[in-house]
Amino acid sequence: MWKEKVQQYEDQIINDLKGLLAIESVRDDAKASEDAPVGPGPRKALDYMYEIAHRDGFTTRDVDHIAGRIEAGKGNDVLGILCHVDVVPAGDGWDSNPFEPVVTEDAIIARGTLDDKGPTIAAYYAIKILEDMNVDWKKRIHMIIGTDEESDWKCTDRYFKTEEMPTLGFAPDAEFPCIHGEKGITTFDLVQNKLTEDQDEPDYELITFKSGERYNMVPDHAEARVLVKENMTDVIQDFEYFLEQNHLQGDSTVDSGILVLTVEGKAVHGMDPSIGVNAGLYLLKFLASLNLDNNAQAFVAFSNRYLFNSDFGEKMGMKFHTDVMGDVTTNIGVITYDNENAGLFGINLRYPEGFEFEKAMDRFANEIQQYGFEVKLGKVQPPHYVDKNDPFVQKLVTAYRNQTNDMTEPYTIGGGTYARNLDKGVAFGAMFSDSEDLMHQKNEYITKKQLFNATSIYLEAIYSLCVEE
């Protein structure tokens, strides 16, 4: 029944999605204003969703041009559906213009098809189809649309300052069947704050070190610039041997008397750094073999003492595991050093329910003072969890199973979705187990089958939650 309903709307779904995909809704702080708090692109995408909602007879509410909602239904309780229309930058290497959607026989190719414009349109059409069916709503629906999910979540921070918290809800920004728990997430810097003068002339001086740009990615490139006083050839040979022994790619060149060493690693999402190869930590491991200047020596030694080969916080004294949510993970996503300002490690830490985060951080901060480092803590998002046996979760999963015959259980992840904004929220689709995940990558696409099947599942799930009871 549900799939047949969606079939009647397939052309409309694709056309509305194409219009949304054509908007380059990348955050642009240089062009931000009061009317466009994270830039004109995200604002334009938000307005686009209002336009199609008004066309279809829905009411909307705008919240300072950074978030808003489309309203449907009636009743005391509210189902929240949290979507976002901002996207990450396109990057290079696409086979087509990432903001000129290509529609093939089987798929739609453009930035945002998977994350999160495709799922947003799927959820919107599930609501629209039910409205067209003139169902007897038992709950209100707030389809909440954000414009800063890919960066700082300014959108939802602002929205929930003044707007009603939904009774329950889901974010169509992950995978089926259902993600019912997410680890706590924080970023913090370990800053080298104690500099010492060298008493003796060092053999080698670390001029600069750079690896990684994002806290939530394993760095796949690292570069060190080293002033070598003598034995340049020996250092290069030792470096080549180090690369070979550790099965790494890298290079060494000389630039105006400065030895430039590079290491290539393997970039993966910071939620599981153990499956990546951290180029920065490996290059620091090699530098530890050199008689460096005091400040660089302290920086390199700190990395080996606390960070290298410690993806689960073991060396930081933070190893912790639960059967439901898994392990603490520590990703060293940004590493910088220069001989005037010393060094910094930027860390993305994720932790399960039950981990005593504040206690662990206080102990660690006190411990590292003796090595000339301090902790500068960023935003902390506590773990988010809804029991998978909750009737709300079970209704979502039942809708998925009815249409796929896939009995996979709901699960928890190390990543973070919009669902954690809700008091009672989960992530629900729109990716299937056989979907190719090109989120944040070149040639991102969604198959028509995935788009329409997700719409159909959302249709049944929303009906079950908001009409039947």
**Catalytic residue list contains 149:** yes
Which of these is catalytic: 86, 115, 116, 311? Answer: 86
pLDDT in tens, 366-417: 999 999 999 999 989 999 999 999 999 999 999 999 999 999 999 999 888 8
Statement to judge: residues 271 and 210 lie in one domain: yes
Q: 381, 402, 419: which is the final residue of a domain?
A: 381
Q: Alpha-carbon distance 392 to 327, whole Å?
A: 27
Residues in contact with 92: Cβ distance below 8 Å, sequence separation at least 6, in sequence order: 442
Enter the pTM of the model.
0.81
Question: What is the number of other CB atoms lying within 10 angstroms of the CB of residue 327?
Answer: 22
DSSP-derived 3-state class of residue 283: helix
Question: What is the number of other CB atoms lying within 10 angstroms of the CB of residue 47?
Answer: 16
**Catalytic residue list contains 205:** no
Statement to judge: residues 62 and 90 lie in one domain: yes
Question: What is the number of other CB atoms lying within 10 angstroms of the CB of residue 424?
Answer: 17
pLDDT value at residue 199? 66
What is the domain range of residue 286? 185-381
pLDDT value at residue 416? 82
**Per-chain mean pLDDT for the chain:** 95
pLDDT value at residue 2? 96
Residues in contact with 188: Cβ distance below 8 Å, sequence separation at least 6, in sequence order: 346, 347, 349, 361, 375, 376, 377, 378
Cβ distance 26 to 87 under 8 Å?
Answer: yes
- The CATH number assigned to the domain holding 342 equals 3.30.70.360
Q: Alpha-carbon distance 267 to 278, whole Å?
A: 7
* Ranges of the chain whose pLDDT falls below 50: none
Statement to judge: residues 81 and 153 lie in one domain: yes
Statement to judge: residues 369 and 225 lie in one domain: yes
pLDDT value at residue 75? 96
pLDDT value at residue 243? 98
Question: What is the number of other CB atoms lying within 10 angstroms of the CB of residue 267?
Answer: 18
Statement to judge: residues 238 and 148 lie in one domain: no
What letters, b where the CB count within 10 A reaches 16 and e where it falls short, cover 51-87?
Answer: ebbeebebebeebebbbbbbbbbeeeebbbbbbbbbb
Which of these is catalytic: 149, 175, 205, 460? Answer: 149
Domain count along the chain: 2
